[in-house]
Structure 1
Amino acid sequence: MQLRAEHRQNLKSALIVLPFDLKFSGLRYRNSRPYITAGVMPTFNVTKQNNDYLRTKTSDFFLTCGFGCDFYLPYFKFNPEIKFCFGLGDNLLHDRPDIAEEPEKLIITQSLKKAVSRMVVLTFYFE
């Protein structure tokens, strides 16, 4: 009989993002204009991390693509947009000298090969 231990950790993050997008708009039809976007987005994690099992890197780089529509209303322009973001790098810190003396934590850190970020962003613009 083998005993199995369960460990839990919340991976919370607060990101500062710098999106650079190109917007390709279609022709205006009545009071709407569809568009697609593509771009890049560097991100910086500003969350202070404790000495946990898994630790993430402080920066990442995303490729983005999305679509939306400009709605021209009487007093303002409304733009709902959906954007898909695909992280390019591995987010895990694999080299952890701070937990080298704790084999239980080190085994958990080394058991994952790779962790990448994926996001779906729903945005509403009012102009």
Structure 2
Amino acid sequence: MKRFVFIIAILFAFQTLSAQMFTKERVTNSVDNIDQKFLTWGYFIGYNQYDFNFDYNQNLKDIQVETTGGFHLGLIGDMRINNYLNLRLEPGVFFTTRNLKYDESYFNGMDFNNSDLLREVKSTYVHIPLLLKISTKRINNFKPFIVGGFSTALNLSSNQDNPNDNSAGEFRMTKNNYFYEIGFGIDMYLLYFKFTPSIRGIFSIKDENIRDVDPNSPWTGNIAKMQTRGVFINFTFQ
């Protein structure tokens, strides 16, 4: 269903663009004025893929992260600074799942079963970035840009306050996190709205792991630092 929505959005945009893409004709309707407004609004949907970056205390085999695609959606508030700079607030809700696979060497001398080697980490983030968008001069009906900034996120599935840890099958993370973000995209001026596909990388600047009660826990004892990183593909409508 998620892929179907993305395909429909892309096909709709490019069907509208087909008559404009390689011509010098400019769009003549009200969407032409959108870049001159001090404040504009919109929404986005997209695809995300989250990962973890680990630093270790000992030289054991890496924890393998199996990533799965996630879905997100949110709102956009855009403040025009000048013809080339915009300040943007993009609050959204992001859903993702990561599976952590441990090597048997982590359980050396301990009794374990196959379920101990796997931890499913489901996350639901309320993600709020503040971004600076730097655009080029508009070329016909296209305007490329780069974007960067900082963000905060509330992980509603963190298990931070759960008294149970991995010994009871619960992998815990911090509830609050902070990121820096950087990406690029292109504004496409259609007949009735502005459509923007973009791609962005996010990188956590905070250790998110909550250690188990046992300091020698096979699940968290060797983790010096655990930080989220990810890729967002956004489809924006303004």
* Contact 1:83 1:121 survives alignment (8 Å): yes
Moved more, 47-56 or 68-77: 47-56
* Contact 1:9 1:52 survives alignment (8 Å): no
Trace 1:26-105 onto structure 2 (pairs within 5 A).
26-47=136-157, 49=159, 51-53=164-166, 54-94=171-211, 96=212, 99-100=213-214
Q: Does 1:119 align with 2:230?
A: yes
The structure where strand makes up a greater share of residues is 2
TM-score (norm 2): 0.46
* Contact 2:209 2:225 survives alignment (8 Å): yes
Question: How far has the Cα of 1:107 moved from its partner?
Answer: 3.7
Question: How far has the Cα of 1:4 moved from its partner?
Answer: 7.0
Residue identity opposite 1:26 in structure 2 = T
Question: How far has the Cα of 1:66 moved from its partner?
Answer: 0.5
Distance in 1 between residues matched to 2:165 and 2:110, nearest whole Å: 22
The verdict on how the C-alpha distance between 1:124 and 1:114 changes in structure 2, with shifts beyond 3 A counting, is same
Distance in 2 between residues matched to 1:35 and 1:111, nearest whole Å: 41
Q: Give the number of aligned pairs.
A: 120
Distance in 2 between residues matched to 1:12 and 1:111, nearest whole Å: 21
